[in-house]
Each structure stands twice: as structure tokens, then as C-alpha cells.
Chains A and B, each alone.
Chain A
Amino acid sequence: MGSKVESIGLYQDQHTVGITTVDFADKAVVDCFNHSRHDKNEVDYILHISNYRNYRSKEIVEPAMASFIQRDIQINHDIEPHHGHRTLSFDLMNGSLGFLQAAQVIDALIATQRARVGLIVSGNSRIPAGRAIELRIPFYEIGCSTLIDESTEGRGLSAFYYRSFPEYIKDYEVYLDFRDGEWRVNSVQIQNILELFVQVIRTGIGEYLQRGGIALSSFDIVIAPQISTAFIDEVREVLGGQDERFINATAEGDDLFSASIPVALKYAIDNNLAQPGNKALLISVGSGIQVGCATYTF
């Protein structure tokens, strides 16, 4: 049994100040179920993947942010052990690779018949004013919710692959600390971080294609990290792909971060760029430095 993306919900708001991670995620989940054939109470697992963890003006360490989303949307939030459907919610964090890893986890939960339906949610909300310092790659504020369910006939997600470059681990760090009586978010990103991302994608994807014995041309679509148009162009150039195969769903110039893959998948579907049976190469890159990739068959 495989797994496929059944529905994608988005929520965008670039104007209202103070929308939290959970607000973005909640609204995206509602949008996701508006387009789904599943009822919300069919969800077995909720995985929240945002690294930024604000809720009601607080940064949350505990519990899992996913539990607030489960409660807000009322997904089996009050089901006692001896009654009906059981849902587990938790957070899985690995920056912009979070989506791919959460998708692999749900794929494994479906393969082992522990799940039929899983939900991946994220809310890329900006860091509260007064705590932020400039990020070299600012991210686009967006809530994203992706429903994954069972698939047959080889459709959906497959062939996940990760490649770490620990020699560059210090080149991209984001952390919170408390100095001079206030909390600060600190960002360490080397000047040429985007060039480094392109370089590691070339190595990682090269290995992926070689291991699979496949060529880039066997993919109908390539979803590179949706950081910017210029970044997608750079990736296309080093991978040697054709322009029209590379999806560009970047919004207003900012990084779609952990929402890159679902936003680009939705863009491809909504714009009729993917037909049944088409294959997409999904690529993520982020801190670590790590590259992740997988194949998606429509």
C-alpha cells in the first residue's frame, strides 16, 4: 500500500499583524477539508512541521503544537480510549525538509496499516516583532495543510532519499537566546548560503539519479525548493533540466520554506501541468546542511 496527496489547503495573509503559527495552520486545515473527500474525524495522525512555535503570543516548548491544531479543528479531540477513532498529533521538525520527512513517516504509517489518513500542517508565521533579526532568506507567511491517504497502482510518494553535508552544519543556524534582559532570535547564514544550497542539490540529486539508474529527463516535473525564481533557475541550470519542467510557485519573492512542495504540487495540479501517470521529482534543501528528495507519481 502506498500513499498519495489527497488534498492541499492553504491560507495566506501578508497584512494582518500577529497571526501565529497555529492560526495559519488552523485556517489551512479548514481549507484542506473543504477540498477533501475525507471527513476530518478520519484523520489518524496530525504532524505539525513548523520550526517557529508561537501560539497566543507565546513561544511553545510543550506540548506539541499539533495538539492545539487538533483541539482547534476538533479532530477527535475528545475521544476517550474506549470510543471510536483515535488520533495522535505531534511535531516533527527539520526546517524546510520537514514536509518530505513527515510525508515519508505517514507513508510508512500507511504501509504498516497504522494509518489510512494523515495530515501534515505548517504555519510559517514571522517571528514576533522585537525578537527578529534579519534572515538572509526571509520566508513567506503561509499556512499549509496536506492530507495524505492510501494509494494503489504505484501512484503517489516513493523513493525517498536524504544526503547530509555535516561539514557545512555551522553555515546555517537559527536559535533563540536570552541576553540583556530580552529574548532574541538569532540567525547565522553564510553570505553565499544559496550558492551552497545549489551545490549540495547538485551532489544530492546526482547521487539519487545514479542510485535509481534514472535520468532527470524521466521526470515530467521538477519541484525545486521554492526559495525564489532566481534560485529555481540556478537549480535548473546545474541539474541541466528543461525550463518548463521546473515548477515556479514562488510568491512575492520570499521563500515558501516548509510549504514549498505542497504549494508547488497544488500549483502544478491547479494549472494543469501534471497529468495522471506523470512523475515529479520533489527536492528540499535546508539546514544541516541536508538535501532530501522523493518521487511523486500523479
Chain B
Amino acid sequence: MSVRSLIESIGVYTPEQALSTEEVLRGCTHRPKVDLEELTGIQSRPVVGKGEYSIELAAKAISQCLKLSRHSPADIDMLASCSISRYCGPNYRFSAEPSAAANLAAQIGLSRNAITIDITNACAGMFTGILLADSLIKSRSIRRAIVVSGEYITHIMANAQREIGDGIDPQLASLTVGDAGAALILEATEDTAVGLDDIELVNLAKYCDLCIGTLSDKRHGGYVMYADSQPLLALGRYIAEHMAIRLKERHLGADDYDHFIIHQVASKYIDFVMQSLAAYLKIDPIPQEKVVDNVRYRGNTASTAHFVALWDFMKQGLIKSNSKILFGVGASGATHGVASCILDDLPDRVYRLYKDVERRNASHEGTRYGK
């Protein structure tokens, strides 16, 4: 009997503090002459609080994920940490060793025989982690894996605000990012009615120079990202083409899916990829209610973006149990790809959890206002 990987649980952590696009622009030494909100659809994005770094975001996401799971840390055979930002302390501390995965495993008390791996593949990091975990699950080397990412990336926004010049600047895209952590538990299942039924990622390495994250050479230090945004966004056509090819190879159509989650960069980018997909498939535009666009209050949260969107939509009851989801992956490198999965009752569990939290908050608020 063959097995596949089920998304058994999910956890997302987004910092409470947020920064509006207007505030971001107002904070620039040289205010860019673009309407960034109109261009991207991003109104605000979560920003870490004092003392929160990438590893804390990842740890909080794992904690949330374990709350929804039937499993304890001792049941987990592998932890893959997939953050771009390995930012783990003050003074722009960036860890090389030990791995973030080893640190997280130690924090949560994972089995001492668990595989701990750090993966770096830009915004495709979590999907690369899923691909590896799925391969190890299918080959029966492991039964369960945590795939996690914590992205504290608004520090590149702070540097862009200082360094950006007049006109179109390669750091403009840095003004669109937001901070978040996301974690999944993947588990082996023999039930073919649920789980991950396709994943394929590809690198068009001739475009690897289009987006580079590196250290700032300025006196203020920190990290910077230089992106050649127009050609990078145009690569979205490869995501659409890849999705269309995989659907055709698997004799499926867009109608077979309840939702489409494309890398959450900007609303216009999501629209472009979805229009391109419809064109490749030679079908009418895919109904807007099937397309997940979560950038308005999240911005681009890098490798966590798809799962922050999935979480937010499940929380609101917009993605329901047993939904079939098609993910479109795009990242610098340039990586593009596709993943397809059928959820079990996870959306109901997320929705119920969130409603419980809302009810508890409402009862606290009632007490406060009552006074």
C-alpha cells in the first residue's frame, strides 16, 4: 500500500504590531514616487515586536501547530526549518551553526533521533521542505515531519527606507514585506482521498541574479534585498505554465480545484498568474472566489506566505474541510512550481479554534467594557 503526506496540522503566528504602507513610505528618506498601495494591494503588514526574531516566529508557529495536532513533539521524526532569514538575536545576529532546526528541536523537545535540516530556497523554502518531507514519508523513512519557517524580514524594509533613492530602486520590493511564522505537520496516510497528491519544483537558474539578499555595505549594517522587480514578476508566467502543464499531465482541470493559492506578492501579480493560467488552459477566467488573495493586511511574508494565506482563509471559514487546493510557487533563484493537496477536517479544526479564541476575547472585552 502506497502512502502520501497529509497536512495533519498547521500553525501560523503573525505579530500583533502592524505598519501601514503609508507609514512605510513616510519613513523613507527619499519617498518613492509610486503609489505602492495601488501597485501591490498591500495596506499594512505585520511587524515583529522588540526581541522577536525569525527563530521566535518559527517557534510560535510550531507551538500553535502542535495545539491543533493529535501529536506531541515525541511523535515527530523530522524538522525542516526553511526560513530565508536566519536572524536569531540582536546586532543582526545570523546563525550559521547549529542549524535553526536543531535549535527549534531542542526548544520543543523533539525526539533525539529526529532528522533536523535547514533548507534555504528563498520563498520556495517551505515547499522545498514539503517535497523532502514527502519523499522521506513516501519512502517510509519517517512517519511525520514538521516543516516550519519564521520570517523576520522587515529589517530589509528598514534598510530600504534608509537607502532607497529617487526613481525606480532595486530595493522598492523590500517595502512590501511582512513578518510571520508558519508551521505544518505532515503525516503519512494511506487514505488516497486526502493529502498531497502532487508537488514539483524547478529552477530556471539563468535568472538567479534577479533577486539577491545580502549584507548591507553601509555603516548602519543589516541586510538588504536587491530585486529587478519587473522581469522577476514577469516570471509569474512560468508558474502559470507549470501549473497548466501539471494539470494536463494529470488529466485534471481548474474545475477540479476549490482554491488556488499563488505566492502572495501583490494582488496584481496574483491576478496576472491566474489570468495566465486560464490562458494556458484555454478556459474562461477562474472565478475570483476561488483565488486566495491575502496581501492586503499581510504583505509578502516570503516563504510563509502561502500558509499564512491558507490559515487566514481557514480561520474565516472561507476554505472548508475536504477542499482541494492548487498552490503556485514562485521564488528567486528562480524557482517555480506547483503543489496540489486535499485537506481533511483541518479547516474545521482551525475555524473552531479561532472561534473559541474570539469568544474568549469577546467575553474578556465584555468584562472590561462592563466596568
Contact = CB atoms under 8 A, between A and B. Distances in A.
B117 A164 contact: no
Contact of B132 (A51, A80, A105, A181): A105
A82 B245 contact: yes
Interface stretch (A6-14, A63-71, A236-244, A247-255): A63-71
Interface stretch (A31-39, A91-99, A259-267): A91-99
A72 B219 CA distance: 32
B318 interface: no
A270 interface: no
Interface stretch (A53-61, A148-156, A218-226): A53-61
B103 interface: yes
B259 to A, nearest CB: 22
Contacts of B102: 94, 164, 166, 169, 287-288, 290
B58 to A, nearest CB: 15
Contact of B92 (A95, A178, A287): A178
A35 B245 CA distance: 35
Interface string A171-190: 01111111101010100000
Interface residues of B, number: 71
Contacts of A52: 96
A90 interface: yes
Interface string B84-121: 11101101111111110111011000101111111111
Nearest to A85: B202
Contact of A90 (B85, B112, B120, B141): B120
Contact of A105 (B101, B124, B136, B202): B136
A62 interface: yes
A130 to B, nearest CB: 13
B136 A108 contact: yes
A109 B135 contact: yes
B97 A286 contact: yes
A95 B221 contact: no
B203 A67 contact: yes
B139 A108 contact: yes
B206 A78 contact: yes
Nearest to B121: A90
Contact of B93 (A71, A95, A175): A175
A81 interface: yes
A11 to B, nearest CB: 20
A101 B333 contact: no
A77 B225 contact: no
Interface string A287-298: 111100000000
Given A82-B241, A90-B128, A101-B115, 18 more contacts: A58-B212, A61-B215, A62-B211, A67-B335, A70-B203, A77-B206, A78-B205, A79-B204, A80-B241, A81-B238, A81-B245, A105-B136, A162-B116, A166-B102, A178-B91, A178-B215, A286-B97, A288-B99
Interface of A: 46, 51-52, 58-68, 70-71, 75-82, 86-95, 101, 104-105, 107-109, 111-112, 114, 160-166, 169, 172-179, 181, 183, 185, 286-290
